[in-house]
Structure 1
Amino acid sequence: MEIRMLKYFLTVAEEQNITQAAKKLHITQPTLSRQIREFEESLQLDLFVRQNKKLYLTEPGMFLKKRAEEILELNEKTEQEFANYQQAILSGQISIGCVEAESSHFLSEMLEEMIADYPQVTFNIFSGTSNDITEKLDKGLLDVALLIEPTPMDKYNKLILPDKEIWGVLVSTEHFLSNQQSISATDLRGIPLICSSRKEVREMFCSWGQFTEGDLNIVGKYNLIFNVISLVENKVGAALAIKGAIDNRKNKTIFLPCAPALETNCVLVWKKDAILSSTVLTFIKKIKHALEA
């Protein structure tokens, strides 16, 4: 007997009315009627008899009601004990690689929820470039990683996070383009640029602007934008970057988003062939549920 069917049966027995029971169970009246009829047929017994527009339990029905109440009580107790057991044994550390991105806020919220639910769980965050992070991920030194597309995904499972990463150019407040609301491909030609050291990112910008790297005046490359801000402030060059990496930093710079817009996804990834602990699997499951909500 399915737990779901026993719940249906007990609700009908309590309400003594199919329509009222269906409302309480949040299903349609025809569906509940069919389920009860099929349940009686499977048992080869009549569980209810109709009198004065109400449903009353037959003798077999009263016997089943008592047993169903015992089964559901035991089921609820077992589920609660298992949840308590899981919470008690879930411990250990989650190792996370994280790039500079807007979606790091979402990751922080998920970690906060994880620690609240499982106080024995700890975490270790490694910040770096995508190349640094994927290298550690491949070696098994990290469990999961927060990366920004474009990035090769053939070796990884991934979850796409909700916030889009907005690409643009970081310029000094004294730069001649600083009074603009956005940056176009034409604006980039000729001005000194500081680009990401990641080939995939440079290729993405070239595809967006319909130019080659040779068409640009690239004066330098970087791995983390934090190290470049002072160069931008001193007008050494304008830096190609994402908005989420420079938000809330007090400096003499302005972020100009690309026009037309250039946006990419932030993704949580883990190796396809990795053997993950129950703690890491629970963390991934929690994020999946949050994304589906």
Structure 2
Amino acid sequence: MELRHLKYFLAVAEELNFTKASEKLFISQPPLSRQIMELEEELQARLFNRNNKKVELTEAGKYFEKEVKSLFQDLERISVKTKKIAENVSGEFRIAYISSIYSSVISDLIKQLKEQFPYVNFKLFEVSTTKQILALEQRKIDLGIIRSPVKSPKIKSQLWFKDGFSVVYNKSLIQIKSEEEIPKLKEETFVFFNKDYAPHYHEVLLELCAFYGFEPKVVHESNNINSIVQLVKNGLGISIVPSNIAKNNQDPEIGFIELKKVNLFTDVSLITSKEDDSKITKSAVDFLLNFKR
């Protein structure tokens, strides 16, 4: 059985007239009749009742017509999706991000992309910078959002924005009003990112403390920025977080003091594979680069 047999069958089923069906198919009537007979022989079922006056579908023919129409609808859907996959506007798109990136930005990105690429299945992963770089090199993700420079011949990196730093503390436990009082914090305990999880970021935090004249007493570590802020809120220490976090935190129990005197920033970058020139990747990067911060 071939697709042409099914197309010929549907034409006759719609017209219920072999002459009209053959005209519609641009073939002569004898070959059309022969194709229908071959189909019936293969199915071992009569699909049409024929006489000199009219052509009618048998009960088997009515069932077959319904199923064949459904089959062609599926084939159309498959063809459309296959074409879109070939055009890089369907399939799966995987985005990795670090925990210190405000989540509403990611949500806005996904909403925008879903409008542009409705056939795409988007997946989000919260992944450390080092693991993102490895995953992108292995093509396990399509777009990464990281902090720190990238040294990989396989990766294209674009600066998204430069982020400053802010001290975060529990207002009821720490009495501090300005950046000038930061050196007083040398006696306090700190909550930091784990060194193995984000080595570059960890080193920057140590540099910040050194600028204000002390070495931090790190008693708690976490791999998630939101967990660090929660630990601070619970009174387990103070921390230094990206100012991006401070700008988007409205908790009245927590205070932030931006460190403006020190000339240290962290680069938040967008990373993609150098071999990736797909429409969806370009659209995602363009959206983020043009995002009003």
TM-score higher than 0.5 here? yes
- How many residues align structurally? 202
Extract unaligned runs of 5+ from structure 1: 1-84
2:256 alignment partner AA: F
Q: 1:252 — aligned with what? A: 253
Contact 2:109/2:284 (<8 A) preserved: no
Name the structure 2 match of 1:166.
164
Q: CA deviation at 1:131?
A: 3.3
Cα distance in 1, alignment partners of residues 138 and 99 from structure 2:
21
- Whole-Å Cα distance in 2 between the matches of residues 180 and 120 of structure 1? 51
Amino acid at match of 1:224: N
User: Distance in 2 between the 1:286 and 1:105 partners?
Assistant: 17
Residue aligning to 2:221: 221
Q: What is the rounded CA distance, in whole Å, between the counterparts of 2:269 and 2:289 in structure 1? A: 15
Aligned residue type for 2:173: H
Q: Percent identity?
A: 15
Alignment of 1:190-209 (within 5 A): 190-197=187-194, 198-209=198-209
Deviations 1:212-246 (A, max 9, x none): 99822111222102223342123221022123336
Q: Which residue of 2 aligns with 1:3?
A: none
Q: Residues 32-111 of structure 1: matches in 2 within 5 Å?
A: 89=87, 90-102=89-101, 105-111=104-110
Specify the SS of the correspondent of 2:202: helix
| Equivalent residue number for residue 147 of structure 1 | 146
CA distance in 2, matches of 1:234, 1:151: 33
Q: Secondary structure at the match of 2:164?
A: strand
1-structure distance, mates of 2:116, 2:156: 25
TM-score of the pair, normalised by structure 1 = 0.57
Task: Say whether the 8 Å CA contact 1:184–1:260 is kept in structure 2.
Answer: no
Distance 1:254 1:226, change over 3 A: same
Kept after mapping to 2: 8 A contact 1:194/1:221:
yes
- 2:29 aligns with none
SS at match of 2:136: helix
Q: What residue is the counterpart of 1:265 in the other structure?
A: 267
Deviations 1:7-49 (A, max 9, x none): xxxxxxxxxxxxxxxxxxxxxxxxxxxxxxxxxxxxxxxxxxx
- The answer as to whether partners of 1:94 and 1:279 remain within 8 angstroms in 2 is no
TM-fit CA distance, 1:145: 0.6
Out of 86-95 and 226-235, give the one that drifted further: 86-95
The change in CA–CA distance for 1:288 and 1:97 in structure 2 (over 3 A counts) is closer
The alignment's C-alpha RMSD in Å is: 3.4
Residue 174 of structure 1 aligns with an amino acid whose one-letter code is S
CA deviation profile, 1:149-188 (whole Å, cap 9, x unmatched): x3444453112124x42312211121333x4144765244
**Cα offsets for 1:107-144 (capped at 9, x unmatched):** 44443332212221231110133234334334332111
Larger Rg: 2
